[in-house]
A and B are shown apart, each in its own frame.
Chain A
Amino acid sequence: MPEIDLSLHVNGRKVTRRVDPGARLLDFLRDDLNLTGTKEGCGAGECGTCSVFVDGKLVKSCLMPAAKAQGTEIETVEGLARPGELEAIQKAFHKTGASQCGYCIPGMVMAATSVLREAPEASMEEIKERMGGNICRCTGYSKIIEAVALARDVVTGRATPDALEPERVGDSFIGSNVRRLDAPSKVTGRLKYAGDMVMPDMLHMAVLRSPHAHAEIVSIDTSEAEAMDGVACAITASDVPGTDGFGVFVHDQPIMARGKVRHVGEAVAAVAAENEVTARKALAKIRVEYRELPGLYDPEDALADSAPVIHDYAPDNVVKHIPLRKGDIDKGFAEAHLILEDEFATQQVEHAYLEPEAGLAYVDADDVVTVISPSQNITHHRHMLSEIIAKPINKVRFIMSPVGGGFGGKEDMIYQGMLALAAMKTYRPVRLVFTREESIIASAKRHPSRVRYRMGLTNDGRITAIKFEMLSDGGAYGMSSEGVMRKAAILSCGPYEVDNIQVDTRVVYTNNTPSGAFRTFGGMQAQFATESMMDIAAERLGLDPFEIRRINMMRAGSLTHTQQELKSASIDRVLAEAEKASRWEAGPAGMRGPERGDLGGPGTRAPCTLGARFESKAEKKGRVA
């Protein structure tokens, strides 16, 4: 491999190394210098987890070849403060609770540092604009922006350094602003996520993924890949020693495709090699012969009589059906003055946590197969892996690394099994770090769902009956689908007491990307339908949208949809607060005419504009004049 001599200063120290001329500055910092505070979230300049200063200018190190940094001065998050200390901006992040999963935080701290250096007087709007190249998925940005403003005030002398100190906690922690214990490790970039970890003699894994949605695997030939210099092993489903299959409810998913592929992006084979480049090159040498099968891409089609079968154990393609019955809907609809019918559809959504999936596995001196990964469910994974690799549970260990955002998307064991197999085959540590594209193509998504809704109401706004039918696209594997359908059924008709309901939630197999756990776990899809119906009903009956909800809301003593008697209910207070906070103009939807008076008040987000820095320059000029 060709190499070039690179000489530059990093965090004030001279560094000289021979590097691959194609290496990015990001790779050089992380792999050659172990400065893993600089993260890779996307590799395409979109997310800002890799922001560093080059000759005083903040750049995205995934978009800069290391060679371009020849002779420059680099400053990374590790160089901001002296070891064990925090800069004002880092203290501010700690103070406001700006770090949650922490994966975006080193980049955010760097971007914030750039704001304070370039525009120390920046307004809130200008701070937001200048931080626009960095993405966070946990905080909603409020706490981050608050931290930058706090640090700005301290740095410019508008606030004293005391403002960065923790707030005093009185008699109770409840109601106090308590700082997060893990924040210092995150704001300094010290915290090691799985993709940051290295072990001596470690191999790097790359995964060959299916280009087909549904196809039989006729043959896989890995011999050419295995013969390559630098390749330690190749693995396929045939290397699995035990009973293959994982899943949160039904163990329908092999750790790599077995016999056939069921979605585009499914793992088919994997290679462990001395470095990532070799592993990727080896993938191109694996020969897979597929025979394409008819696929299912719409959940309605999956229920058709002649539909292709995706899993032999489920000839009807149904993963789970959750029926819920309460009262008598025929009686309820007979009592109704108004019956509304509608359909609601929601789309597939990717979690887009900033930390792509990553893991590191090794076999320890006592033959314990150990997997380190940001798994959201290590105990279950451990039990499943023990069956898959046919080892007793005391020879399987899972270590949960810091999770750089999960939101439900890291509940499924979609890669840990491959790492374990490769470690067992080589007796060397093996690491796999997904690319962003791989994460999007291979990880579970929020269930796309359709709800067919029928609601009966009396003229005074009381719901007499609901018929609720949800059909969800589970994709190729079961994953968390069953639980999601249960939750969707339990929450289906919302926080309203309805005497007569008939709820059916169904999830089916298709050849789409698998659906799994995602924040709200089925609740969002159901509530989108129910709350939309409530608004439609309010409009049709000439009622205020808050009023129709108060008429139907659950109270202490109400029976839920699953017929549990509630001892208390808080929706009345929630509605009161929401009405107050939104400065709601009371009345039915039609009474206002084209204009309403409750829009655009304080706290309303301004439309999306850019150019705050021009305005603040004008202000500054104004002040001088």
Chain B
Amino acid sequence: MLSCERYEMPETLAEALALWTGAPEGAQLVAGMTDILPWAREGRAGDVELPLAIDLSRVAELNGYERHGSRLRLGANVVWQDFLDDPQLAAWLPVMPYCSVWFADDQIRQQATLAGNLVNASPAADGTPPVIALNGEVELCRLANGQLMSRTVRVEDFVTGPGKTTLAPGEIMCSVTVDCAEGYGASFQKVGQRRSLVISVACLAALVKLDASGNRYEDVRLAVGGVGPVPERLRDIEDRLRGEAPDMALIAELAEATADRVGSRSRIDYRRRVVPGFVRAALEEATDRARSARGAAAKKETVNA
């Protein structure tokens, strides 16, 4: 059972930082609360008493998203359901709807934030692989001598182990900035014990872009989660495929080698069989989707012409 001495809902970042800087020992920053409430139960953390919970969900500066050139800044209050319900986000981040639909369920996605998923740093987090694949960075803000300071950290460097990040005392994650991947075909693979509300045993995000001819990979992004202490980009495969024609035999060969990436401490044999299958399936699916995206775009041009 969770109990709170104080529950604050600051409306500006300055208020939130001031509260967090002066927070008593044991205070927590909270957003969707969808992870902390189930955590504070028998068999996990048990009865938890928080001296202060600082709820960030009404901090105006953390709302919404904005595009800067090829990069997209997602405020920390962007919730998982936004990736399904907002067509603009879905177009710019084509991997996110596929990831989101496997994340918890429609109701929890209304509360849970992408930033919260990153900051929790679960090795099985669904959000980290796609964000890493999109060269994600997080913006961490704090107050220093009354001044707002911020730093930017690559998500690959931010998550350092299970539940461990480089978030420093007094810091708040304000945003997640990722590549816009318009025109990419995407896929998200996940396996767990049921369809909704399931924590990944392993998951994998893939994005591919075809060149102007539509016959070769211009870009490939792959990242895997749940098979080691931290999620990983599969850069060797990305590099090998860039410039190549989509070739299922080559993909199968590259996929086979990924079994050795599995560094988990449990269910190793199972994961070793899952990961190559994911790499193959994700690349095939993402390639098909990249082709049909090109087809749809071409059709649109014809219609407009």
- Residues of A contacting B32 with CB < 8 Å? 63
- With a cutoff of 8 Å between Cβ atoms, the chain A residues found around residue B43 in the complex are 437
Chain B, 1-31, CB within 8 A of any chain A CB: 1-7, 9
Q: Is the CB of B111 within 8 A of A22?
A: no
Instruction: Please provide the chain A residues from 53 to 108 with a CB less than 8 Å away from any CB of chain B in the complex.
Output: 57-60, 62-65, 67-68, 70
Fill in one digit per residue for B172-198: 1 if any A CB lies within 8 Å of its CB, else 0. Answer: 000000000000000000000001110
Which chain A residues (87-133) contact chain B, with CB distance < 8 Å?
A: 111, 114, 129-130, 132-133
The answer to whether A611 has its CB under 8 Å from any CB of chain B is: yes
- A613 touching B84, Cβ below 8 Å: yes
Across the interface, which residues of B come within 8 angstroms of A130, CB to CB? 106
Contact A22 B4 (CB under 8 A): yes
Whether the pair B5, A21 counts as a contact (CB closer than 8 A) is yes
Chain A, 234-293, CB within 8 A of any chain B CB: 277, 280
* With A63-B33, A65-B33 as contacts: A21 and B4 at CB distance below 8 Å: yes
A68-B41 contact given A132-B105, A133-B107, CB 8 Å threshold = no
Contacts of B41 in A (CB 8 A): 43-44, 435, 437
Is A48 at the interface (CB under 8 A from chain B)?
yes
| A58 adjacent to B106 (CB under 8 Å) | yes
Asked if A542 lies at the interface with its beta carbon under 8 angstroms from chain B, I say no
- Flag if A22 contacts B7 (CB, 8 Å): yes
586-617 of chain A: CB within 8 A of chain B: 608, 610-611, 613-614
Determine whether A4 belongs to the interface, using a CB cutoff of 8 Å to chain B. yes
Do A63 and B3 touch (CB < 8 A)? no
A118 CB to closest chain B CB (Å) equals 8
B107 touches A67 (CB 8 A): no
- Confirm or deny: A505 has a beta carbon within 8 angstroms of a beta carbon on chain B: no
Whether, in the assembled complex, B37 has its beta carbon less than 8 Å from a beta carbon of chain A, the answer is yes
Q: Are A58 and B110 in contact (CB under 8 A)?
A: yes
Whether B106 and A114, one on each chain, are in contact in the complex, defined by CB atoms closer than 8 angstroms, is yes
Contact A20–B3 (Cβ < 8 Å): yes
A65–B42 touching, CB < 8 Å: no
Q: Which residue of B lies closest to A47 (CB)?
A: B197
In the complex, residue of chain A having the shortest beta-carbon distance to the beta carbon of B47: A280
CB neighbours of A111 from chain B (8 A):
107
| CB neighbors of A among B86-130 (8 A) | 97-98, 101-102, 104-108, 110-111
A58 to B32, CA, bound (A): 14
Cα A406 to Cα B171 in complex, Å, equals 49
B196 contacts across to A, CB distance below 8 A: 132-133
Residue of B nearest to A58 (CB): B107
Q: Is A146 an interface residue (CB 8 A)?
A: no
Is there an interface contact between A611 and B106, defined as CB atoms closer than 8 Å? no
| Contact between chains at A613 and B7 (CB < 8 Å) | no
Cβ–Cβ contact A133 & B105, under 8 A: yes
Contacts of A210 in B (CB 8 A): none
- Residues of chain A from 365 to 404 with CB closer than 8 A to chain B in the complex: none
Cα of A60 to Cα of B9 in the assembled complex, Å = 20
- In the complex, the chain B residue whose C-beta lies closest to that of A281 is B47
Contact of B101 among A21, A51, A64, A610 (CB under 8 A): A610
Q: Which residues of A contact B47 (CB under 8 A)?
A: 280
Tell whether, in the assembled complex, residue A280 and residue B4 are in contact, meaning their CB atoms are under 8 Å apart.
no
Shortest B89–chain A CB gap in Å is 14
**A24 close to B (CB within 8 Å):** yes
Residues on B with beta carbons closer than 8 Å to the beta carbon of A129 = 101, 195
Interface residue ranges of A130-146 to B (CB < 8 Å): 130, 132-133
Interface membership of A545, Cβ < 8 A: no
B38 touches A70 (CB 8 A): no
A298 at the interface (CB under 8 A from B): no
Q: Does any Cβ of B come within 8 Å of A2's Cβ?
A: yes
A153 within 8 A of B: no
Is residue B53 within 8 Å, beta carbon to beta carbon, of the partner chain? yes
Residue ID in chain B nearest A2 by CB atoms: B5
Interface of A is mostly: mixed
List residues of chain B with CB within 8 A of the CB of A308.
none
Asked whether any CB of chain B lies closer than 8 Å to the CB of A438, the reply is yes
Query: How near does chain A come to B158, taking the closest CB pair, in angstroms?
Result: 25
Least Cβ distance of B277 to chain A in Å?
14
Q: Does A216 contact B (CB under 8 A)?
A: no
Q: Does B57 contact A (CB under 8 A)?
A: yes
Q: What total of chain A residues lie within 8 Å of the partner, measured CB to CB?
A: 40
CB-CB under 8 A from A45, the residues of chain B are 34, 37-38, 104, 108, 197
Q: Please, how many angstroms separate the alpha-carbon atoms of A51 and B107 in the complex?
A: 8
Asked if A46 is an interface residue, CB under 8 A from chain B, the answer is yes
Residue of B nearest to A132 (CB): B196
Task: Compute how far the CA of A111 lies from the CA of B32 in the bound complex, rounded to whole angstroms.
Answer: 19
The answer to whether A277 and B3 have CB atoms under 8 Å apart is yes
User: What's the Cα separation between A24 and B42 when bound, in Å?
Assistant: 17
| CB < 8 Å neighbour of B7 from A62, A67, A132, A608 | A67
Taking a contact as CB atoms under 8 Å apart, the answer to whether B1 and A277 are in contact is yes
Q: Does the CB pair B55–A67 fall under 8 Å?
A: yes
Contacts of A614 in B (CB 8 A): 97-98, 101
Identify which of B55, B81, B111 gathers the most chain A CB atoms within 10 Å of its CB. B111
Known: A59-B110, A277-B1, A435-B41. A67 touches B197 (CB 8 A): no
Interfacial chain A residues near B1, Cβ < 8 Å: 277, 280
Q: CB distance B38 to A44 under 8 Å?
A: yes
| CB contact between B197 and one of A4, A24, A133, A438 (< 8 Å): that residue | A133
Contacts A45-B108, A608-B195; is A63 near B37 (CB within 8 Å)? yes
Residues of B within 8 A of A57 (CB): 81, 110
- B34-A63 in contact (CB<8A): yes
B3 engages A44 (CB within 8 Å): no
**Complex Cα gap A280–B104 (Å):** 30
Asked if B42 contacts A60 (CB within 8 A), the reply is no
Contact of A611 (CB < 8 Å), options: B2, B42, B101: B101
Given A24-B37, A44-B41, A45-B197, A65:B105 Cβ within 8 A: no
Report B262 CB to chain A, min CB distance, Å: 23
A68 touches B197 (CB 8 A): no
Contact with B along A424-445 (1 / 0, CB 8 A): 0000000000010110000000
B4 cross-chain contacts in A, Cβ below 8 A? 21-22, 65, 67
Alpha-carbon distance between A4 and B1 when the two chains are bound, in angstroms: 19
Q: How far is the CB of A127 from chain B (nearest CB, A)?
A: 12
Cα A111 to Cα B108 in complex, Å, equals 12
Once the chains are docked, how many angstroms separate the CA of A114 from the CA of B105?
A: 13
Other A-B pairs, 12, CB within 8 Å; known A65-B7, A132-B196:
A22-B50, A43-B38, A44-B37, A44-B38, A45-B34, A60-B107, A133-B107, A133-B197, A435-B42, A608-B195, A610-B101, A611-B101
Give 24 pairs: A residue, B residue, CB < 8 Å, sorted on A: A4-B7, A21-B6, A43-B37, A43-B38, A45-B197, A46-B38, A51-B107, A57-B110, A59-B107, A60-B107, A63-B32, A63-B34, A63-B38, A63-B111, A64-B111, A65-B4, A67-B7, A114-B107, A132-B197, A133-B104, A277-B1, A437-B43, A438-B42, A613-B84
